[in-house]
Amino acid sequence: MIQVGDGVVFVKDGARGIVINIDQERCQVLWEDDFVSWEQREWLIVTTIEQTERRER
């Protein structure tokens, strides 16, 4: 279950962000490029900081 403060990855393009608000089946996400948008939960995968750091190496 996605919660406010979770790190997420957008399934379609791999963009990473942080959930800042939740409204039923949509999540408002602050993306790594400082863009904010509302996305359907099914397009988001919760990730951990450790997983994100491994991808960058």
Q: pTM, whole model, 2 decimals?
A: 0.81
Look at residue 57 in the predicted model and tell me its pLDDT: 47
Q: Which residues of the chain have pLDDT under 50?
A: 52, 54-57
Enumerate domains of the chain plus CATH numbers: 7-56 (2.30.30)
- In this structure, the chain runs to a length of 57
3-state secondary structure string across the chain = CCCCCCEEEECCCCCEEEEEEEECCEEEEEECCCCEEEEEHHHEEEECHHHHHHHHC
Look at residue 48 in the predicted model and tell me its pLDDT: 76
Are the beta carbons of 16 and 6 closer than 8 angstroms? no
